[in-house]
Structure 1
Amino acid sequence: MTSLADELRQPAPPSSFRVLLPPGWTQHQPNESGRKQLTDSIRSRFKQAGRPDVEVKLTFMVNRQWTAMTRMGAVALYMPTEDTEVPVPMTIIAVPYTVTAGKTIDADIRSRAGGPVEATDLPFGRVYRWVETQASVNGEQGAYARSISYLYPVPGKQPTRGMLIATSILHLDSEVTEQMLENLTVLSDSIAETFRWK
């Protein structure tokens, strides 16, 4: 049994974190200003490319996903903001995660994830990763989403909290090839690997 003195000597669990971003990416608060910035960027890029049809569909998809992100309680949003030759249809959010009462974090995440879960032990702790694919997004035929999720438990013996880093790659059937999807998945993994508790 742990004494009160032992408990008081334990370091407090971290409450903040950091993620390193590649050039051209920035962190935003997941609020109305961030949503407007993302949809304005989509409109600008696809109008310049002469693809108003893609612009309309992706803007609709972003707005629907933004609503879901707000409901999830996201605390940070990461996205590319610099104009590039090829638009990067990818956003990453950070969402606090709380384990269901009576479950371990391992059992909880495996029951809640939308796909097979990989658990990897790294020098700074364990990370869980899984991938989901939607053949249509919010009823939009031909609109696809790949979600890549990473759960970082708060350090400790039996964590009941963690941080979920969730990547969403939105695309249309004719717009993003399988190779580009794989490249964006590698980019997502590279960004998520920089996560550290502070």
Structure 2
Amino acid sequence: MAIRGERMNSLRESLGVTPDPDFDMKLPPGWSRRAVDEQTFETMVSGLKRRLMQEHKPELYTETRRLLKRSFDDMRQNGAFAFFVATEQAPSTLWMPASMVASIRRPEPGSSLDDLARNLIVNHGATPLLGDVRTLRYEQEKTIRLGAESIVSRTVTYLIPVPGSKRRRALQIVGGLSTPVDMPADDPYVVSAKFLFDSCASTVTWHAPVQ
């Protein structure tokens, strides 16, 4: 399933600067692209409440809504403009507790994407995605606490230079999933989830810039 991107930087357009080009990315069955905005949040909250009522689990609504709100707040704080998750109520939908989040990443003032890439290679073990030197890939994980329990947050980050940006901006896509603390990194589920992220990120293509 190919998803056509929206304009990634409305501020650039409002300032009269040529907006960054759109991008496409193939997604798993039943996944879709959503904007990081209040309308999307309210739509997801309504769907969440409906599902929990159907499953006779209304007691989970308040806590689950809180976690969803925190997720949206984190995405906004990190400059995300879109995210990709399973949304379609269909037998073919690939349901899994994972998502992919898109944002624009810039190097520190006075440096370039090449400087950023070198830093990620040295300090985070970044490598080309599936041998494609145009896309840099690196993994991170951390243990976080949710109430009385702990989970491991695992992320795979991809950086793809934005065409026409003179290597000053990169599309950043972060694939994330949460696992129990006792699930090893080589567990088949973790490996398959990372392969799924790789497969999606490797399909990113760009459209001609908006004139």
Question: Normalising by structure 2, what TM-score?
Answer: 0.68
What is the CA–CA distance in structure 2 between the aligned matches of 1:181 and 1:41, rounded to whole Å? 27
**1:80 — aligned with what?**
86
**1:147 — aligned with what?**
155
**2:12 — aligned with what?**
none
Q: How many residues align?
A: 184
* Cα RMSD (Å): 3.8
8 Å contact from structure 1 (residues 137, 145) kept in 2: no
8 Å contact from structure 1 (residues 14, 197) kept in 2: no
Paired-residue identity, %? 21
8 Å contact from structure 2 (residues 34, 82) kept in 1: yes
Structure 1: which 5+ runs fail to align?
Answer: 1-11
How far apart are 1:139 and its partner, in Å? 7.4
Q: Secondary structure at the match of 1:168?
A: strand
**1:130 — aligned with what?**
138
Question: Normalising by structure 1, what TM-score?
Answer: 0.72
Which letter does structure 2 place at the counterpart of 1:65?
Answer: S
Out of 79, 89, 104, the position equivalent to 1:96 is 104
Using a 3 Å threshold, how does the CA distance of structure 1 residues 170 and 66 change in structure 2: closer, same or farther?
A: farther
Query: C-alpha deviations, 1:128-180, integer Å up to 9, x for none?
Result: 11111111157764222111110001247951111001112134448999321
Using a 3 Å threshold, how does the CA distance of structure 1 residues 188 and 130 change in structure 2: closer, same or farther?
A: same
What is the CA–CA distance in structure 2 between the aligned matches of 1:109 and 1:140, rounded to whole Å? 38
How far apart are 1:47 and its partner, in Å? 7.8
Structure 2: which 5+ runs fail to align?
Answer: 1-17
8 Å contact from structure 2 (residues 138, 158) kept in 1: yes
Out of 167, 174, 177, the position equivalent to 1:159 is 167
Query: C-alpha deviations, 1:67-120, integer Å up to 9, x for none?
Result: 111012212111101346984111111101222222231321454698321135
What is the CA–CA distance in structure 2 between the aligned matches of 1:190 and 1:144, rounded to whole Å? 22
What is the CA–CA distance in structure 2 between the aligned matches of 1:47 and 1:87, rounded to whole Å? 18
